[in-house]
Chain A
Amino acid sequence: MNAFASLLAEQTFDTPANVAFGIVAVLMIIAALRVVTTDNVVHAALWLVVVLGGAGINYLLLQAEFVGITQILVYLGAVIVLFLFGIMLTRAPLGKSDDLDNNQRPLGVIVGVITVAVISFALVSTWGDDKLTFEAYDGPMAQAGNNRTQALANEVFGPQLIPFEVLGVMLTGALIGAIVLARRD
């Protein structure tokens, strides 16, 4: 029960942010369940849109605006389109189909329930009622005003520059690899 109380945040149910979080969280969980249980492949992709958009709203609630906007641009703009293309190119059945799940459903339910139980127990016993402090956003950023995106840019193009460049090389390699794999020759 403690887990659900924390999820709905009854203790600090005094801000609109908590109400927004509760609505978005319930929507995200329902949509995620539909992604893994629906028997229509296209509907799974469209429910995934709700989950990814909800994650973007969560980032906004966590005051990580740049990550939220990137989430919406990259995931909703690019990844979902890729998924829909993949569905169409593999000629998946557009209507209902009964054979999307294998016969391991009980095992999957057991593993999922155990996973969420263990992680929830660990989280509740470790962080309990810790409140978000946003202390990482204080200091230089607080003095400079509402410049969290600028601070993030300073981080990416400063200490994290080499990983960022490596990431660019990896993206290029992955996309060239995808073209080589999917090319008809």
Chain B
Amino acid sequence: MLLNQFLLLAAILFSIGVYGVIVRRNGVLVLMSIELILNAVNINLVAFSTFHGLDGQVFALFVIAVAAAEVGVGLAIVLLIYRNRRSVDIDELDELKG
């Protein structure tokens, strides 16, 4: 198997995730797109770990744990936004706009 086949798959997943972050309005869907990006990074890390030792796999485990924490906090924030505004449309969250 080639190294590049995993890296190119990860690149495509990453770009799809970037597209989702740009285009989606629902906060939960944006979080799902961020999960796509993090998984692309994880595939890269594990693929490189076949060359450079097990550090890549350890780091992938760390990314999985951080992603789980990120989803927990992110969904709590989305819930708070929903409770305050009755909507999870992140395009309406422009109070910080100058």
Interface residues of A (CB under 8 A from B): 3, 6-9, 11-12, 15, 17-18, 21, 25, 28-29, 32-33, 35-36, 41, 44-45, 48, 51-52, 55, 58-59, 61-64, 66-67, 70-71, 74-75, 78-79, 82-83, 85-87, 89-92, 99-102, 104-105, 107-109, 111-113, 115-116, 119-120, 123-124, 127-137, 151-152, 155-156, 160, 163-164, 167, 170-171, 174-175, 177-179, 181-182, 184
Contact = CB atoms under 8 A, between A and B. Distances in A.
Given A3-B8, A136-B54, 12 more contacts: A18-B5, A32-B12, A36-B16, A51-B36, A90-B78, A99-B25, A123-B8, A130-B4, A151-B54, A174-B72, A174-B73, A181-B79
Contacts, number: 261
Interface of B: 1-9, 11-20, 22-29, 31-33, 35-36, 39, 42-43, 46-47, 49-55, 57-58, 60-62, 64-73, 75-80, 82-83, 88-89, 91
B71 to A, nearest CB: 5
A41 B29 contact: yes
A113 B3 CA distance: 22
Contacts of A44: 29, 32
Given A11-B2, A130-B2, A74 B54 contact: no
A101 B25 CA distance: 5
Nearest to B47: A62
Given A48-B35, A136-B49, A131 B3 contact: yes
